[in-house]
Amino acid sequence: MTDEELLKKLIKGEDDTLSHIIDDYSKLLWMVVSSILNNSATREDIEECISDVFVQLWKNPKAFDPTKGSLKNFLVVIAKSKALDAYRKLSKVKIVELDCAIKSKDEDLLDYIINKETSQALFAAIKSLAEPNREIVLRRYFFEEKPAYIAQATSLPVKEVENRLYQSKLKLRKFLEINGGIGHA
Amino acid sequence: MPKKDLLSELSQEQLDELLTYTHPFSQKNIDSIKNKTFKKIEEKTIMKKPFLKRSFGTVAAVFAAALVVATTTFAAMHLLRSPSEVIEIAGGNAALTAAFEGSDAININQTITSNGQAITLLALVSGKDISDHPIYNSTGEILNDRTYAILAIKNLDGSPMPSPMDAAYQPLAVSPFINGKSPWVVNVFSMGGGTISVVEDGIMYIIADFTNITKFADRGIYLGVNTGIGMGNIIDAFTLDEESGTIVTSANFDGSSAVFALPVDPSLAQPERASQFLYELFGDTNFDQEQEITIEFGPENLSLYRATYESLNAWMMEQVEARRASGDYDEESLEAFKQEQAGFFDALRDGYYVYIIALDDMGFATAIANPALEYEISVNTTIDGGRVLETIIIN
């Protein structure tokens, strides 16, 4: 069923359609919401957040315009917004990036790599890294976790996480250049 | 540069692999999500009935506006919606609508242009229990004493603002600021804020909320709007004018930014509550002093005290050797670490202070500062529970 057909059924108010959409997209939204809520949320929080996404789609299906993008992307955008909202509710004081003082050349490199590559190529390149760098980079790139959270999850000092991230980014770039990925800037 | 969405492109197998890093996911979760979703839909359907009756006036106004659209499309496209209409567009909130229509609301309608955009602060209202959707803190406590602001942002060239599903969409942050307090200290994050954004007729509307700021009314309060939602964006967009204590926009910020001085009655101030609020956030740490975070120490560093340059340097090198001996670090990482330490010590001078800052949930961090010179800010350390544990004076 195409996104246009799904939209028409949603506008008609067919419960089955929403049920199918929940089946198809819950896994992806679980990833998206988890990546934002990090370890500040419980399973219950994640489910609440994802259900809010589907409620919003049900409530205002016309907000989704199939000519502008896919239903998948639409749901991901809403999920990010809902997750950020949930995150601030779960955190009395929002945690601030400690690594913003050292953003600069390595962040530029991150943007460069991400925008040059497909997610799948980037994912494959990350798999070439040894642990724990692989986990660190996956968490940073795909879950957008802050180094401090990664440090908690991996039981490593924050500074070491930052160092491993930087070194991994350099290795990723080399890997992608050698394997026919990104060209020279 | 808009951030690319990496997750949506992954295959099912790759998603499955990444799921190992999240809370476990299974069919049970899908069933639970379904139950929650349909329960909420049922509740919302019931709740809507009385709400529609009360909003008759709004419905009539929208109908009248539709007639205008038929004849003067261009003008209508540029008319801003009222706060009540914005709330309705964003999904409805009877209590908040009533608050914005009540006597405590402050209608401002001030527009500031920046970076090709017109940013209009439509109205502001503060009070207890003025929303149907309560905000909770991390312990489940309802934060019911809030300030809400409604803003409109449109492009000066007449082009429509991108909707949240467009790749070109750029979110904006709305921060409360207090006179005399650096934007990196008091901002949307420290004041527990957030926004809901909708785009209607090519105009972006933002409903922002944060802790009730009228308690700071005697100090002078502001509302800042900037492109981007990161802490770095706020730091780049705004500056504290040291002489006057006012918050001003930074000339070199790459994006839109605006500061509105809020006309809140100073008699509404609650100085004791305001001081208590800041104390609960920051403790005794004087965050008016600007600090530069440069490096992290471990808890073992707490024994360091009034160190000399040489002893601190020796201690740092011990840390490097200990890491090397652990075998958990490759040489490249260690070299990068050592280079950072060298930069750190290059920045130190006699009389400088090194602050060891305990972060309740994130270990430790340090900052260097020189009380005799002008401070520089590069990063916020207002982590939940962050406080200065030790001060090392280099001499």
What is the reported pLDDT for B146?
92
What is the reported pLDDT for A2?
85
pLDDT at B75 over 50: no
- Region B40-50: what's the mean pLDDT? 50
Phi and psi, residue B363, nearest 5° = 80, -135
Judge: B362–A98 Cβ closer than 8 Å, yes or no.
yes
What is the reported pLDDT for B283?
57
Closest CA to A53 of A18, A102, A88: A18
What is the reported pLDDT for B237?
92
Distance from CA of A82 to the nearest CA of B (A): 9
Closest CA to A29 of A3, A48, A5, A13: A48
Identify residue B38 by its one-letter amino acid code.
F
What is the reported pLDDT for B62?
27
Interface of B with A in 240-299 (CB under 8 A): 281, 292-296, 298
Contacts of B109 (CB under 8 A, 6+ apart): B120, B121, B122, B123
Interface of B with A in 57-116 (CB under 8 A): 91
Task: Residue A103: list chain B partners with CB under 8 A.
Answer: 232
Residue A67, CB half-sphere, CA atoms under 13 Å: how many? 1
pLDDT at B249 over 90: yes
* Tens digit of each residue's pLDDT (9 = 90 or more) over B131-162: 887 776 545 567 788 999 999 999 999 899 98
Top pLDDT among B285 and B246 is at: B246
Top pLDDT among B356 and B363 is at: B356
Rounded CA-CA distance A59/A128 in Å is 44
Q: How far is CA B90 from CA B40, B97, B147, B197, in A?
A: 17, 11, 17, 8
Instruction: List the single residue in B with minimal CA-CA distance to A52.
Output: B37
Residue B258 CB coordination number (10 Å): 27
Average pLDDT, chain B: 70
What is the reported pLDDT for A153?
76
Kindly report whether the global pTM for this prediction surpasses the value 0.95: no
Instruction: List the single residue in A with minimal CA-CA distance to B193.
Output: A88
Q: What percent of chain B has pLDDT over 70?
A: 59
Residues of chain A with pLDDT below 70 are 15, 38-40, 88-120, 144, 177-185
What is the reported pLDDT for A42?
82
Q: What percent of chain A has pLDDT over 70?
A: 74
Q: What percent of chain B has pLDDT over 90?
A: 27
Lowest mean pLDDT of A110-119, B65-74, B230-239, name the range. B65-74
Phi and psi, residue A179, nearest 5° = -95, 25
DSSP string, B275-328: HHHHHHHHTT--TTS--EEEE---GGGGG--S--HHHHHHHHHHHHHHHHHHT-
What is the reported pLDDT for B290?
35
